[in-house]
Amino acid sequence: MANEPVSSKRLLQGNEAIVEGALAAGCRFFAGYPITPASEISELMSIRLPQLNGTFIQMEDEIASLGAVVGASLAGTKSMTATSGPGFSLMQENLGFACITEVPCVIVNVMRGGPSTGLPTSPSQGDVMQARWGTHGDHPIIVLAVSTVADCFDITIHAFNLSEKYRVPVILLSDEMVAHTRESFKHPSTEVIEVVDRITPTMPPEWYIPYEDNSRGVPPMAPMGTGYRHHVTGLIHDPKGFPTQRPRDIEDFIKRQYRKITNGFYEIQMTKSFLIDDAELAVIAYGSVARSAKRAVLQARQLGIKAGLLQLVTLFPFPKNRVDRLLRQCRGVLIPEMNFGQISREIKRVNLSDCQVKKYNRLDGQMITPAEIYKELTRM
């Protein structure tokens, strides 16, 4: 990295860093529809993808966008779309289709105030539970959240890697504040970037069983058009991909979906710690609010308050064990969110200690400032 040209250090906004991260991960297909505050992702993808022999398509709406992404992924291409709350709502049916057919893809939701048209240019974190439960059915999902421009690059790559490794759609949550914040960013050399590709079948086509179980619970995925028969349906299917009503097949299929994610908890559930080791009070935050929380913790430390920050990168599957350890360590935990308390409900649900869990919420489209978090810490 020391020999890289000076030009590799750039001033990027969060949306631009998401694009660079996606391209570094091998994304070569993007289908989307413009929407504030995510439009810069589509705009930059329309320029960058053709330069890399990739494909950009502006679709007629968000429903078609995710449909095209699923189709491109089935054909063997790493694929992504990006939207905000109203568009994410339209994607839920095709998100469910991607879940049941185990199609890897990345869906970026740059959150803004809602519901409906809401506050198109203001930040929010109101889509957290929609990301987990927006599409119907009993299914696992991976939801990641970014806080800085560096996060936007690094965690986008990780989102693609998890999606490819576990054959699942991964939802990447940003918000207007992160999306439009500009920070100095140095693009790492390609040699140090870990890129994971999906496992493809090695057996002859006539032996291929597209949804066959194995020790990882993740069957190899043959690209469409390569001679491997692969029946794709939104119905619950047997190991060969054909619809089934057999109770044993149905139960095995759903349990395998969960098992492959459970087996990967160690690398899926990511958090970042700041001054946690001796903390007596802690802030648990994610997204742009984690930026404010870090400054507030530093201010509290200057007054002698032993405060720390746990930044949640993975929101779902919820990192219960890491949060539980912190709750047992601290006498008080503050959860600031730009919603009515969506992650705070998860934290309270897993709290089995005497730790005081307090939430702090803003719903008005304004960011939560370091001063607000600091004030709440001093009250605790």
Q: Given this model, what pLDDT does residue 8 score? A: 77
As a whole number of Å, the CA-based R_g of the chain is: 21
Q: What is the mean pLDDT of the chain?
A: 96
* pLDDT at position 54 over 90: yes
Q: Using one digit for the tens of pLDDT, what is the confidence trace for 118-154?
A: 999 999 999 999 999 999 999 999 999 999 999 999 9
Residue 23 and residue 152: Cα distance in Å, rounded?
12
Closest-CA residue to 285 (of 347, 233, 218):
347
Name the segment(s) of the chain with CATH classification 3.40.50.970. Answer: 6-192
The structure tokens 């860093």 sit at: 17
List C-alpha distances in Å: 232 to 66, 139, 183, 310.
16, 18, 43, 41
Instruction: State yes or no: pLDDT of 379 exceeds 50.
Output: yes
One-letter identity of residue 124: S
CATH no., domain 6-192:
3.40.50.970
Name residue 46's amino acid.
S
Task: Say which residues have a Cβ less than 8 Å from residue 65's Cβ, sequence separation at least 6.
Answer: 31, 32, 33, 59, 81, 83, 87, 91
Contacts (Cβ under 8 Å, ≥6 apart) of 116: 86
Report which secondary-structure segment, H or E, holds 123. Answer: strand 119-123
Is residue 1 predicted with pLDDT exceeding 70? Answer: no
* HSE of 140, CA atoms in CB hemisphere, 13 A: 22
Pair 121, 92: CB distance under 8 Å: no
Return the CATH fold of 272-379: Rossmann fold (3.40.50)
Task: Measure the CA dihedral 58/135/170/13, to 10°.
Answer: 50
Percent over 90 (pLDDT), the chain: 96
pLDDT score for 3? 43
pLDDT in tens, 343-375: 999 999 999 999 999 999 999 999 999 999 999
Coil, strand or helix at 107: strand
Band of residue 4 on the pLDDT scale cut at 50, 70, 90: very low
What's at 294, amino acid-wise? K
Q: What is the DSSP letter of 237?
A: B
pLDDT at 5 over 70: no
pTM for this predicted structure: 0.96
| Whole-number Å distance between alpha carbons of 326 and 322 | 7
Alpha helices (runs of H) in the chain, residue ranges in sequence order: 14-24, 39-51, 62-74, 85-90, 92-101, 128-133, 149-166, 176-180, 247-262, 265-268, 288-302, 320-329, 342-350, 370-379
- Segment 164-223, tens digit of pLDDT: 999 999 999 999 999 999 999 999 998 999 999 999 999 999 999 999 999 999 999 999
What are the residue ranges of CATH 3.40.50.920 in the chain?
Answer: 272-379
Cβ–Cβ < 8 Å for 168, 142: yes
> Do the Cβ atoms of 10 and 187 come closer than 8 Å?
yes
Per residue in 78-95, pLDDT tens? Answer: 999 999 999 999 999 999
Query: What phi and psi values does residue 32 have, to the nearest 5 degrees?
Result: -165, 180
Range 65-69 average pLDDT? 98
Q: Cα(288)–Cα(174) distance, rounded to whole angstroms?
A: 8
Measure the CA–CA gap between 69 and 57, rounded to whole angstroms: 10
pLDDT for residue 9? 86
Over the stretch 309-319, which tens digit does the pLDDT of each residue have? 999 999 999 99
Report yes or no: 18 and 152 within 8 Å, Cβ to Cβ.
Answer: yes
